[in-house]
């Protein structure tokens, strides 16, 4: 018999974009993207309890400043699952935050994916069911990636995934300015900026072969220039990290977080000490 737990505690991982190319805008206003995305160990914790005698969803978050945004995505995830699969169970969800908000690290989408995965386990639903994947796409562009939670080439608006291999075990320094950035605001202006010269196929080759020089020469983000125009501190952080001997440095997602990859944790620790200032979020983690 399939065991269906009534309570789960899960890690909700974050992500970084080694490359992000904006290919063009679709008729519905969304942009077609081509991205190499890596899951990162930096994570939130999701506690979820199922009650058979109720049909409500209660979501709380220990960071009151983020509660409305996080709650909305997680609440929507449960209600979409309830609508599609026709169950009446009640759910209590508690989010313990660690992933910074408005950072381009996918915290809200990761939380939603984590909740979808938890509900699947609790209800005996195959997480790879096409209905589940359709729900993930509906909730948010990054949600399908977090259901996979492995290095991947991501295309379309986030719905097409191809798993990739990562030869090396990279440590990852995350630096986020105290100010975040709105994904919508960045995409609204991104078509007025020149694209970067990042080469997706060479990023994939560098990742799979463990070629740091190839990665450093080809990682990039088409949203970096528009993000830096709204928040110049982003480019300041990128330039500072590169000057500290960390060439595999770039902004992730729509910002405002910046990452630096290295197999040398000590080098990242030195950089972290130097760059921690002005209320910045600074964390050393690793690729999941």
Q: Which residue has the tokens 């990859």?
A: 261
Active site residue 134: no
Query: Which member of 44, 142, 176, 222 is catalytic?
Result: 142
Token representation of residue 181:
């950035």
Q: What are 223-226's contacts with CB under 8 Å, separation 24+?
A: 223/20, 223/22, 223/104, 223/186, 223/187, 223/190, 223/251, 223/253, 223/254, 223/255, 224/196, 224/250, 224/251, 224/255, 225/193, 225/194, 225/196, 226/186, 226/189, 226/190, 226/192, 226/193
In three-state secondary structure terms, 9 is: strand
Judge whether 32 counts as a catalytic residue.
no
Give the pairing type, strands 249-251 and 160-163: unpaired
Q: Give 37's contacts (C-beta < 8 A, 6+ positions apart).
A: 15, 16, 17, 18, 145, 151, 152, 153, 154
Please report which residue ranges of the chain form alpha helices under DSSP H: 67-85, 107-123, 130-139, 143-148, 183-190, 200-209, 212-218, 224-230, 233-243, 265-275
Q: Which residues neighbour 277 within 8 Å (Cβ) at sequence distance 6 or greater?
A: none
What residues are labeled active site?
Answer: 15, 142
């Amino acid at each position: 018999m399939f065991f269906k737990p009534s309570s789960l505690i899960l890690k909700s991982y974050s992500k970084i974009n080694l490359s992000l190319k904006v290919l063009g805008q679709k008729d519905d206003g969304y942009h077609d993207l081509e991205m190499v995305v890596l899951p990162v160990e930096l994570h939130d914790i999701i506690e979820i309890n199922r009650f058979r005698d109720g049909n409500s969803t209660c979501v709380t978050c220990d960071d009151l400043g983020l509660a409305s945004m996080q709650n909305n995505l997680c609440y929507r995830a449960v209600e979409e699952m309830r609508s599609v699969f026709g169950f009446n169970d009640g759910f209590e969800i508690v989010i313990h935050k660690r992933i910074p908000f408005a950072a381009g690290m996918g915290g809200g989408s990761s939380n939603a994916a984590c909740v979808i995965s938890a509900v699947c386990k609790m209800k005996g639903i195959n997480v790879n069911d096409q209905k589940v994947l359709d729900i993930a796409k509906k909730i948010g562009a990054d949600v399908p990636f977090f259901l996979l939670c492995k290095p991947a080439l991501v295309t379309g608006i986030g719905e097409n995934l191809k798993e990739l291999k990562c030869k090396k075990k990279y440590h990852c320094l995350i630096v986020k300015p105290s100010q975040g950035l709105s994904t919508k605001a960045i995409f609204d202006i991104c078509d007025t900026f020149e694209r970067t010269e990042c080469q997706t196929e060479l990023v994939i080759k560098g990742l799979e072969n463990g070629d740091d020089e190839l990665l450093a020469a080809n990682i990039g983000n088409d949203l970096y220039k528009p993000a830096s125009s709204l928040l110049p501190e982003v480019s300041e952080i990128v330039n500072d990290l590169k000057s500290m001997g960390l060439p595999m440095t770039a902004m992730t997602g729509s910002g405002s977080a910046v990452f630096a990859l290295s197999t040398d944790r000590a080098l990242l620790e030195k950089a972290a000490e130097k760059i921690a200032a002005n209320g910045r979020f600074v964390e050393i983690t690793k690729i999941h």
